[in-house]
């Protein structure tokens, strides 16, 4: 089913952007802030891309419980990223590094949870 492969590709890209963000956030160079801003944009775009391909598939092929879990995990991941970016605007990047890392970790955990769940759900849908 090509739809499932499309979801898998978009989830792989989401995971890649999240990994790039984690790598950049640990740096202290002058380029860091610029790279974080660009990767934040990429993350938002990739979250939207995942939703665009996954929403209709889980709505059409998943049972009610699978759809509920998908929506809850997707919403949690999207909200975690949005709240982190709202709490840590570009002007604050580099300040209070421990608080920033804790907030970023929450985003990464929500992302990892979503990605792992989607991969398991895709296997179930392939059946």
119 in Cβ contact with 8 (< 8 Å):
yes
CATH T-level topology, domain 2-126: 1.20.120
The pLDDT, as a whole number, for residue 92 is: 82
* Mean of per-residue pLDDT scores for the chain: 93
Residue 80's pLDDT band, with cuts at 50, 70 and 90, is very high
Mean pLDDT confidence for 11-31: 91
The pLDDT, as a whole number, for residue 33 is: 87
- CB-based contacts of 50, cutoff 8 Å, min separation 6: 7, 10, 11, 14, 74
């Amino acid at each position: 089913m090509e739809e499932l492969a499309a979801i898998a590709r978009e989830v792989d890209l989401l995971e890649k952007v999240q990994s790039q963000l984690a790598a950049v956030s640990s740096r202290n160079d002058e380029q860091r802030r610029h790279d974080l801003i660009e990767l934040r944009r990429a993350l938002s775009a990739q979250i939207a891309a995942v939703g665009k391909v996954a929403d209709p598939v889980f709505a059409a092929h998943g049972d009610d419980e699978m759809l509920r879990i998908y929506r809850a995990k997707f919403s949690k991941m999207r909200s975690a990223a949005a709240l982190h970016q709202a709490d840590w605007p570009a002007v604050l990047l580099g300040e209070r590094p421990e608080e920033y890392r804790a907030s970023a970790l929450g985003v990464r955990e929500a992302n990892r949870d979503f990605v792992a769940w989607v991969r398991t759900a895709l296997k179930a849908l392939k059946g």
